[in-house]
Amino acid sequence: MGSRAREFPATSGGGIIPPMRVRKAQKADFPDIIRLAKKDNLDYAGMEADSFWVAEENGRIQGICGLKKHPECLELCALGVAEKRRGQGWGAQLVRAVLGEAPGEVYLATVIPDFFLRLGFEKAHAVPASMVKGEEWCIGCTPELCAVMVKQGKK
């Protein structure tokens, strides 16, 4: 498994944006990962134990995406991008980086299924038992929008 950083051109109708660099997170990145996750209500207990990827611009973390290991599956979680960089492909590049290193099927629970459909995810026919969430997990979201999706990672 390589953990090489990859640079991607960011796009915007407003002018030139410095390129983003996507890489696997290091332990020293977690204060910034947690800060960004909390800002977008994506933080959860024990997230420091999961694998994360970051998208950075000029050395500053502007996006995060986690991969949580469950007993019977992998879960893509905590995908978040700084507000000023949304809509520029940063989230999609983070998801692709995670999928490029994920050994097997990757599940996720989301209220934005259309975004993940564009990245090749499909609605899951069954939800792995360890991914079943309690009602408290859904506080603040619209449950009828929630979908569990799956996609094959690297083979």
Q: The domain that contains 119 carries what CATH number?
A: 3.40.630.30
In the chain, which ranges are continuous DSSP H helix? 30-39, 90-101, 113-117
Tell me what pLDDT residue 3 has.
Answer: 47
Tell me what pLDDT residue 17 has.
Answer: 54
Tokens of 146: 């929630």
Strand bridging mode 60-69 / 105-110: unpaired
Strand bridging mode 147-152 / 105-110: antiparallel
Query: What pTM value is reported for the model?
Result: 0.83
Tell me what pLDDT residue 13 has.
Answer: 45
Q: Which residues pair with 132 in a beta bridge?
A: none
> Does residue 58 lie in a domain region?
yes
Contact 113, 142 (CB under 8 A): no
> Does residue 130 lie in a domain region?
yes
Tell me what pLDDT residue 5 has.
Answer: 59
Question: Residue 101 sits in which domain range?
Answer: 6-152
Distance, CA of 6 to CA of 11 (rounded, Å): 16
Tally DSSP H helices, then E strands, for the chain.
Answer: 3, 8
> Burial level of 1, CB count in 10 A (0-12/13-18/19+)?
exposed
Tell me what pLDDT residue 11 has.
Answer: 47
Domains contained in the chain, number: 1
> Does residue 88 lie in a domain region?
yes
Tell me what pLDDT residue 143 has.
Answer: 67
pLDDT in tens, the chain (155 residues): 444 555 555 444 445 556 889 999 999 999 999 999 999 889 999 999 999 999 999 999 999 999 999 999 999 999 999 989 988 899 999 999 999 999 999 999 998 999 999 999 999 999 898 887 766 666 666 667 788 999 998 86
> Does residue 10 lie in a domain region?
yes
> Does residue 1 lie in a domain region?
no
